[in-house]
Structure 1
Amino acid sequence: MDPLYKNIHQEIINRCRAGEQKAQHQLYKLYYKPMFNISLRIVNDKPEAEDIMQEAFLKAFKKIGSYKGEVSFGAWLKKIVVNHSLDALRKR
């Protein structure tokens, strides 16, 4: 099935699906800063936002096979980051 959304990082995503750690590191470097800023705006705590980023990226790499390409990879990852950030707020 072809993805509905053309992703500019599709080659890296495909390599992540194959379990390639170098590709995971590339994806992490590409998306860490903007995703960190999103989390920081939600939780307003730098160390907590850093923890959330670790959890969110671990989940993203674990679930990358479920990414269907219906939205951009950044939007898919953002949803994971926002959900983890909101969960952290609820736990306070």
Structure 2
Amino acid sequence: MPPESRSTSSFAIEVPSALIARARAGERAAFEQVYRWFERPVFTLALRICGDREEASEVLQDTMLRVIDRIGHFRGDSPFWGWLRQIAVNEALMRLRRAKQQPDGLDLDVHEPADDHAPPPPAAADAAALQRALATLPASTRSVLWLYHAEGYTHEEIATLMERTASFSKSQLARGTRRLRLLLEPDTRSIQESAHA
């Protein structure tokens, strides 16, 4: 289980079993409700992993089509949101692989000491600054940061999803966090300086 200090996934939406049953029966209104509830979390996850709004829109559409196609396979032994999130992650990572954005500059299976419980960079509260900084990172590094900090995946789970090793995930997290801190600290310093002026 991820540490309690880690962010709760934006996917953590309790979906009534009656709504799932209606969707399984092919009821369009039920699918529309599921779409509305999960549109923003899927799009945000896809944007963070793919780094492009158009790609994120395509991941959203592919994810929802796959949910419609596979809802009969959902057994209910885990939360529906976790099942849907797994589909979204798989779709986003598959799109990255197809685009051959891996390997990239930081994709080395080198173990680097990482403080797994370190909070995201200090300016993370500023969503626009964070988005700009994330966009400068290689796709795999950005993906590890988002899956670990925002979605609460463990290094072992990320390694499985990305077909890599846990040490790869740890090194990407360490390097990505360090890089984000460098990119965001000037913003933090200027905010602090203006507050003391």
TM norm structure 2? 0.42
1:73 maps to which of 69, 80, 98: 80
How far apart are the structure 2 equivalents of 1:42 and 1:8? 25
Per-residue Cα deviation, 1:5-42 (whole angstroms, up to 9, x for no partner): xx542111110000000110011001111111111111
1:44 maps to which of 17, 42, 51: 51
The Cα of 1:62 is off from its aligned counterpart by 0.8
Higher helix share: 1
Q: Which residue number in structure 2 is paired with residue 4 of structure 1?
A: none
Q: Which has the larger radius of gyration?
A: 2
1:12 maps to which of 10, 19, 23: 19
SS of equivalent to 1:63:
helix
How far apart are the structure 1 equivalents of 2:17 and 2:42? 18
Per-residue Cα deviation, 1:40-66 (whole angstroms, up to 9, x for no partner): 111011111101110111011110011
1:35 maps to which of 26, 29, 42: 42
Contact 2:15-2:81 at 8 Å conserved across structures: no
- The answer for unaligned runs of 5 or more in structure 1 is 1-6
Paired residue type of 2:43: F
Q: Does 1:23 align with 2:30?
A: yes
Aligned CA-pair RMSD? 1.0
Q: Which residue number in structure 2 is paired with residue 3 of structure 1?
A: none
Q: Which residue number in structure 2 is paired with residue 90 of structure 1?
A: 97
Paired residue type of 1:76: W
- The answer for unaligned runs of 5 or more in structure 2 is 1-13, 100-197
Paired residue type of 1:40: L
Task: Give aligned pairs, total.
Answer: 86
C-alpha spacing 1:55/1:8, structure 2 compared with 1 (3 Å): closer
Q: Percent identity?
A: 36
How far apart are the structure 1 equivalents of 2:66 and 2:57? 14
How far apart are the structure 2 equivalents of 1:26 and 1:17? 13
Greater RCO (CA < 8 Å, at least 6 residues apart):
1
